[in-house]
Amino acid sequence: MHPHSVSDVWNLVTGVQPAPATTVVWGTAAVALVVVVVRGLWHWTRNIVTIAHEGGHALLAVLTRRRLHGIRLHSDTSGLTVSSGKPHGPGMVLTAAAGYVAPSLLGLGGAWLIAAGHVAGLLWSVVALLVAVLVMVRNAYGLLSVLVTGAVCFAVTWYGSVDVQSAFAYLAVWFLLVAGVRPVLELQSKRANGGARDSDADQLGRLTRTPGFLWVLFFMVVALGSLAVGARLLLR
């Protein structure tokens, strides 16, 4: 049964839902691992990571009072967030550093909400975040990608049963936690082969006068730490 009024939605968001069966928790973890590891599946699901990545850049740009101009998402799963302001300093560093850690931190936050029983609250929060990203997207493929992702999340949130919502929430959070690791590995692989000279890590290296690899290491520590803590919350 789906909500029929604003009060129904609010009751769902603030309410506590029961935890699913252990088989659902482990099953969704297995599915998330498969879609991240299998190359053909990863090509499509990586768009979700790109949305989170660029959303992280955009959020920190706004929080550090930079002027956000827009987000572009491309069919090769790359993306670009354009903001203006001081080309150096803490605001620029935080904005540049937010991308690779955003999926993992979103997954960790989702795991905390699930552990507290707020499955519906998590799903509605995801819908709200996708709407916020949508209004800043500036290209057709990006609009389509966010709209499809948002439509799926909204359909599950509005029409799905408690069991369906719970399984979907676990799958989404497991995916973000596991998927947060692979882009960092891909980044360092490209850097090792002489590519990605303008990657977030290398830009941060130039901004802070430190080796870019240290930023890759930072991204990986955040990703693995979020996965470890998030998994403990989900399996508790």
- Site of tokens 């709407």: 131
pLDDT for residue 20? 87
Q: What's the pLDDT score for residue 9?
A: 65
DSSP strand E in 85-206: where?
none
Compute the Cα dihedral for 19, 23, 28, 30 and give only its sign: positive
∠ CA(190), CA(193), CA(196), 5° rounding?
A: 40
3-class secondary structure, 15? coil
Cβ 234 vs Cβ 25: under 8 Å: yes
- The pLDDT, as a whole number, for residue 73 is 96
Domain boundaries, the chain: 19-235
Q: What is the pLDDT of residue 5?
A: 58
pLDDT attached to residue 97: 96
Q: How many residues belong to the chain?
A: 236
**pLDDT on residue 206:** 94
| Residue type, position 105, single letter | L
Q: Are 233 and 116 in contact (CB under 8 A)?
A: no
Distance CA 147, CA 188 (A): 31
C-alpha distances out from residue 170 to 25, 47, 65, 230, Å: 7, 19, 34, 11
**Distances 22 to 25, 50, 166 between C-alpha atoms, Å:** 5, 30, 12
What angle in degrees, to the nearest 10, is found between the helix axes of 140-159 and 162-179? 140
Q: Splitting the chain (236 residues) into consecutive groups of 10 residues, what average pLDDT does each group show?
A: 60 75 96 96 94 96 94 94 91 96 97 94 94 96 96 93 94 98 95 85 94 96 98 94
* Per-residue pLDDT reduced to its tens digit, 105-144: 999 999 999 999 999 999 999 999 999 999 999 999 999 9
